[in-house]
Structure 1
Amino acid sequence: MLPIPAIDLKDQQCVRLKQGRMEDSTVFSDDPVAMAGKWVDAGCERLHLVDLDGAFAGEPVNGEVIANIVKAYPQIPVQIGGGIRSIDTAKRYIDLGVKYVIIGTKAVESPEFVTELCAAYPQHVMVGIDAKNGMVATDGWANVSNVSAIDLAKQFENLGVQAIIYTDIARDGMMQGVNVEQTANLASKVRIPVIASGGVASLADIKALATHPTPIYGAIIGRAIYDGAIDLAEACALAKTLGAQ
């Protein structure tokens, strides 16, 4: 199970939101490149970047910062979400050296876009499913759809999607613990690897995800590593130890 530090970008700064509310943000650094370096030094094997402004604008807004992070740490795979709603946008990120592009809103509105993107860039596409009470939310969590998370995930099983990033909106940024059972339930229903996101608050969450009978591929960690509730180096070491058992 792979602990993945999150770097959420708003106005070219590293921030954390509570339940996806742009008006409820905390700035943790005005140097996201340096923050990425801190997590790389702690032993992370992947970085999760989100262009929060892009998620609301529907197109990249913090592209320059993202390019600088990818350039500074070329050895670390980067997955990026937020505002990727065209093939051209995905191409620009992949050409920059981004390993995975994450499709969220567009995957709900136009599932055929994921089909097209997977055909154009196999091995480079992930789908982000953000859910509230099991139903998919879009547009930076501003709207809740009538599509269930499981039904949406199943649509992408045979396309070559590399992972589903599943976020429980109710838990995100709230430090209440990850929704292990709901994440594992999704993972048990689809053949695509599932990455947990939202609410990872302690090493106990890392252990619960890593030792669950249903394999969970990774866990995105946000506020907990910024507030100091989780030491990322400890989380990475714990996940490796449990994975070896």
Structure 2
Amino acid sequence: MFEVIPAVDIKGGKCVRLYQGRADREKVYFENPVEVAKRWENLGARRVHVVDLDGAFEGIPKNLPIVREIVEELSIPVQFGGGVRTLKALEELFKAGVDRVVVGTVAVENPELFKEMVKEFPNKVVVGIDAKNGIATTKGWVELSGIPAVELAKRVDDENIWGFVYTDISRDGTLTSPNFEEVEKFASSVTHPVIASGGVSKLEDLVKLSKIKNVFGAIVGRALYEGTVDLKEALEVLSGA
């Protein structure tokens, strides 16, 4: 079943959205991220995607108390990403009750540590590949790695990961539309499940993504907060996808 996964992005303790991943282009939507996560659950979400933006930019999770609170308040699984670059950070998150953890920078810069993470937590690590013009970025989307996203994905596809979150940075937070061509190219190059992220602006975008082979879900942020996608409606329409 195709999952519509609401994003709860935390920066400075508040629920925000960034434009194209830029720290200087943020909009605060809610003061309390826990209430927002609860709201999405009440509307039928089967999973939420929590991002620690402070952690992504600083290289260490900074909003763990809020994440713990979200996990405690919700009865649905929580997927987490943002600044997970040590085994200790990964352990703390799973100890807090997070269901899956997205790891990005480590997969590019420290393959040995990445393998250790996957060995320690099989089928629980999601590889986050954030791409700009097809090239993977690191450190909260700030640095270009020089490695094509597809090449990086293939490097880790034989590891015991859960799957991938593929984000097209140029579309993220823009309310334009996903880069369907790149999503399809990426999803067809790997064997593990792919969750698409970036650019969803309307229900039709989600329907189109659900028809791409090997795409198992989509993370939706700004479209839900601005009301251009109705979560309840989207879940009903896609329940059979």
Is there any run of 5+ residues in structure 2 with no aligned partner, and where?
Answer: none
Whole-angstrom CA distance in 2 between matches of 1:128 and 1:113:
15
State the shift of 1:211 in Å: 1.9
Indicate the larger mover: 107-116 or 174-183.
107-116
Whole-angstrom CA distance in 2 between matches of 1:157 and 1:19:
26
State the shift of 1:180 in Å: 1.5
**What is residue 205 of structure 1 aligned with on the other side?**
205
**What is residue 44 of structure 2 aligned with on the other side?**
43
Whole-angstrom CA distance in 1 between matches of 2:113 and 2:228:
38
**What is residue 158 of structure 2 aligned with on the other side?**
158
Whole-angstrom CA distance in 2 between matches of 1:127 and 1:236:
25
Q: Give the 5 Å matches for 1:1-245.
A: 1-73=2-74, 75-212=75-212, 214-241=213-240, 243=241
Whole-angstrom CA distance in 2 between matches of 1:90 and 1:134:
27
* SS of residue in 2 equivalent to 1:25: strand
Query: Which AA in structure 1 matches 2:30?
Result: S
Whole-angstrom CA distance in 2 between matches of 1:66 and 1:202:
28
TM norm structure 2: 0.98
Whole-angstrom CA distance in 1 between matches of 2:178 and 2:111:
27
- 1:166-205: CA deviation from partner (whole Å, max 9, x where unpaired): 0001100000101122111111111011110000110010
Whole-angstrom CA distance in 1 between matches of 2:232 and 2:62:
31
Indicate the percent of aligned positions where both proteins have the same amino acid. Answer: 43
* SS of residue in 2 equivalent to 1:189: coil
State the shift of 1:208 in Å: 0.2
State the shift of 1:110 in Å: 1.1
Whole-angstrom CA distance in 1 between matches of 2:237 and 2:13:
32
RMSD of aligned residue pairs (Cα, Å):
0.9
Is there any run of 5+ residues in structure 1 with no aligned partner, and where?
Answer: none
Whole-angstrom CA distance in 2 between matches of 1:4 and 1:68:
19
Query: Which AA in structure 1 matches 2:225?
Result: Y
Q: How many residues are treated as equivalent by the alignment?
A: 240
State the shift of 1:124 in Å: 1.1
Query: Which AA in structure 2 matches 1:175?
Result: L
Whole-angstrom CA distance in 1 between matches of 2:133 and 2:50:
25
TM norm structure 1: 0.96
Whole-angstrom CA distance in 2 between matches of 1:117 and 1:53:
22
Whole-angstrom CA distance in 2 between matches of 1:137 and 1:86:
18
- 1:53-109: CA deviation from partner (whole Å, max 9, x where unpaired): 001111011111111000111x21111111101111000000111011110111111
Whole-angstrom CA distance in 2 between matches of 1:112 and 1:126:
16
- 1:9-59: CA deviation from partner (whole Å, max 9, x where unpaired): 000000000011111100000111110011001111111011000011110
Whole-angstrom CA distance in 2 between matches of 1:3 and 1:111:
30
Query: Which AA in structure 1 matches 2:177?
Result: G
Whole-angstrom CA distance in 2 between matches of 1:201 and 1:18:
13
Whole-angstrom CA distance in 1 between matches of 2:191 and 2:111:
18
* SS of residue in 1 equivalent to 2:215: coil
State the shift of 1:237 in Å: 1.2
